[in-house]
Structure 1
Amino acid sequence: MAEGKAPDTSKAWARVKHALTGRPSRGQWVVAALFLVLGFAAVTQVRATNDDDFAGMRRDELVTLLETLDSADERLTQQRAELAETQRRLQQSSERNQAAIDETRRAADTLAILAGTAPAVGQGVVITIEDPDETVLAGPMLNAIEELRDAGAEAIQVNGVVRVVAQSYVTDDANGAVRIDGREIKRPFVIEAIGDSHTLDQAVMFRGGLADQVEALGGEVDVEQVKSLEVTALAEEREAEYAQPAR
């Protein structure tokens, strides 16, 4: 079978070259002009739309729109005012709550000190009772505690190991041992009390008071006023057996 001839493409390439390099025809100029006009119109339309979105609205529509915007602005202003007032009330309520919490905490701390379940620090006195003949028993010790309480002592401990509270009791035995809340207290007795140091000093040293009683028994009392005294002994927490909160 004979081999076919390759197609002649020289004429086709010649026509393409003429179209690219030759002088444009009238039809080509018309098409180009139409493209330019359409492009300019499109750009102008986009710019007009972006520059003025409301150009096509009627006067009454614009008035309605402005009134709507004014109304919305008034509502936002009112809402801001209401939120500010709510914030103010919440802040006041929070401050009152915090004040109540602080007051409750202070009251709880005070009750814990008076109940002997928390340590305490403050000015006060250190009372040392020397009793070489072991004649100072429960009576004088109880009187000392009562006189200190009457003088405003807020926290009392004896020998650094026993916290004296409202329920505390003082006893002695046939061997001359003194016990507070059942715990034996060794001599010399050292009573530490927090309160107004001058007033507590006077409560011990007044005529006929603790100092005179101890001296009459052959003992000796020394009182030292201190600016800072720590009471660290703690009493056991006790639940009321009979008393209940009144409602």
Structure 2
Amino acid sequence: MAESVPARPATADAEPSSDHDEEPAPAGSGGWTTLRGLMRPRATRSQILTALLCALLGFAVVAQLRQTRDDGLASLRQSELVGILDQTTRQGDDLQREIAELERTRAELESGTDSRQAALDAATRSAEMQGILTGRLPAVGPGITVNLTDPAVAVGYEHMVNMLEELRNAGAEAIQLNDRRLTASSYFAPGDGGLVVDGALVRPPYQWAVIGSPQTMATALDMHGGALAMIRNTGAKAVVTLEDRVEVTATREPAAPRFATPQPAQTS
């Protein structure tokens, strides 16, 4: 019968099986991890506060610039803004009309077939304009009429001179007093029972017919301390009427200049 051999007890010196061996951790790996953590950038409290202050400062600068830009018009009242807009619109419309007229005239003058007719039309328009301004041609257009009743014949020539000057300053283009056409060379002088106008006696009542902007001329005459106020102080009565159509029928031939002559054209 075979004899059994007792099992050898395991000792502390026994080596573990190679099938269960584990790879040891690389030496020094914990040091590299710590170093990378220290080198990673971190935002400090002071850096965050500085960035916030810079953002607030930028916002304040932009707001101030916008406020400065808008202060010019923002401080005006609505009525003032509307007035500025209306005035700008009117000026723009006037300029557009003037540009269109000048372009039309230029096109006509530059046209080979119509150049002679265009030049004739331009000369005709210029002659008509000069004829109205010098009193040689009758005229029609919007304006005012002024009726002056002077029973005491207290209105003097100086009152009429002031009225004529105020009408001219207000843009009057054609003026007639009773049956006399008034022009740049017209004058007033004392007369028996009336006034002498350009050498002819004119008696009251006086009726003015004036072509121009009705509202502008009426406002100019009715100014405090103006021509009509001085006339009314004499006891005379004055009634101003705004008209859509005023006819200036009186004409006069302009006197030939005694001393002035056209300046010769400059030759290059």
Q: 1:186 aligns with which of 174, 184, 203?
A: 203
- 8 Å contact from structure 1 (residues 135, 176) kept in 2: no
- Of the three residues 110, 118, 124, the one matched with 1:105 is 124
CA distance in 1, matches of 2:118, 2:220: 37
Q: Deviations over 1:22-58 (max 9, x none)?
A: xxxxxxxxxxxxxxxxxxxxxxxxxxxxxxxxxxxxx
Q: What is the CA–CA distance in structure 2 between the aligned matches of 1:190 and 1:206, rounded to whole Å?
A: 20
The answer for unaligned runs of 5 or more in structure 1 is 1-90
Distance in 2, matches of 1:172 and 1:123, equals 31
> C-alpha displacement at 1:219, in angstroms?
1.1
Report the AA paired with residue 202 of structure 1. Answer: T
Show the counterpart of 2:166. Answer: 147
Residue-pair matches, total:
155
With the length of structure 1 as denominator, give the TM-score of the two structures. Answer: 0.60
Shift of 1:228: 0.7
Which residue does 1:222 correspond to in 2? Answer: 239
| Matched residue type, 2:181 | R
- Identity of matched residues, %: 35
- Secondary structure in 1 matching 2:111: helix
Supply the AA of the counterpart residue of 2:185.
Answer: Q
Show CA shifts across 1:201-242 (max 9, x none). Answer: 112111111221011111111100110111010112310011
Cα distance in 1 for partners of 2:207, 2:121 equals 35
Question: Partners in 1 of 2:228 and 2:194 — Cα distance?
Answer: 20
User: Given the alignment, which residue of 146, 156, 171 partners 1:137?
Assistant: 156
Q: Which amino acid in the other structure matches residue 150 of structure 1?
A: N
Of residues 165, 168, 183, the one that matches 2:186 is 168
After superposing on structure 2, the runs of 4+ consecutive aligned residues of structure 1 that deviate more than 6 Å are none
- Displacement of 1:246 in angstroms is 1.3
Unpaired runs of 5+ residues, structure 2, are 1-109
Amino acid at match of 1:214: I
Deviation at 1:94, TM superposition (A): 2.5
Counterpart-to-counterpart distance in 1, 2:231 and 2:202 = 17
Separation in structure 2 between the aligned mates of residue 177 and residue 135 of structure 1, nearest angstrom: 9
1:131 aligned partner, one-letter code? D
Secondary structure of 1:109's counterpart equals: helix
Deviations 1:130-154 (A, max 9, x none): 1121110100011111111111111
Aligned partner of 2:248 in structure 1 is: 231
TM-score normalised by L of structure 2: 0.56
Structure with greater contact order relative to length (CA < 8 Å, sep ≥ 6): 1
